[in-house]
Structure 1
Amino acid sequence: MPGDDPGVANRLAGAVRATSGGSVGNGRIEGLWNSTNPTDETVLFWQHVRLANLATGDSRSPAGDGINVQDWLPRNAVGGRIGVTGTPPIAGWAGTFFICQDNLAGNFARQIDIAMDDGLPGSGTVRLLPGGAANGPAINQADLIDSGIYTVCAAF
Structure 2
Amino acid sequence: MKRQQSGFTLVEIAIVLVIIGLLLGGVLKGQELITQAKIKNVSNDLTGITAAVYSYQDRFKSLPGDDPNGSTRWSDTDAVSATNKGNGKIDSNEQSLFWQHLRKAGFVAGEIKSGSPLNAVGGQIEPVQTALAIGGLSICTHNLPAKIAEALDVQIDDGKPNTGTVRAAVETSASVVTTAPTITGYTDDGSTLYVLCKQL
TM-score interval (norm. to shorter): 0.7 to 0.9
Pairing 1:106–2:146 present: yes
- Relative to structure 1, is the Cα distance of residues 72 and 28 closer, same or farther in structure 2, using a 3 angstrom cutoff? closer
Pairing 1:26–2:87 present: yes
CA–CA separation in structure 2 for the residues paired with 1:139 and 1:126: 14
Pairing 1:3–2:65 present: yes
- Name the aligned partner's letter for residue 96 of structure 2: V
Per the alignment, residue 156 of structure 2 pairs with 116
Return the offset for 1:18.
Answer: 2.2
Per the alignment, residue 77 of structure 1 pairs with 120
CA–CA separation in structure 2 for the residues paired with 1:44 and 1:29: 9
Root-mean-square deviation over aligned CA pairs: 1.9
- Name the aligned partner's letter for residue 116 of structure 2: L
CA–CA separation in structure 1 for the residues paired with 2:155 and 2:182: 18
Identity %: 33
Return the offset for 1:138.
Answer: 1.2
Gaps of 5+ in 1: 32-39, 61-70
Contact kept in structure 1, 2:96 and 2:115, CA below 8 Å: no
- Counterparts of 1:50-89 in structure 2 under 5 Å? 50-60=103-113, 72-85=115-128, 87-89=129-131
Contact kept in structure 1, 2:123 and 2:143, CA below 8 Å: yes
Greater per-residue helix proportion: 2
CA–CA separation in structure 2 for the residues paired with 1:117 and 1:88: 18
Q: For this pair of structures, how many residues does the alignment match? A: 133
Contact kept in structure 2, 1:12 and 1:52, CA below 8 Å: no
Gaps of 5+ in 2: 1-62
TM-score of the two chains, using structure 1 as the length reference: 0.76
CA–CA separation in structure 2 for the residues paired with 1:51 and 1:122: 35
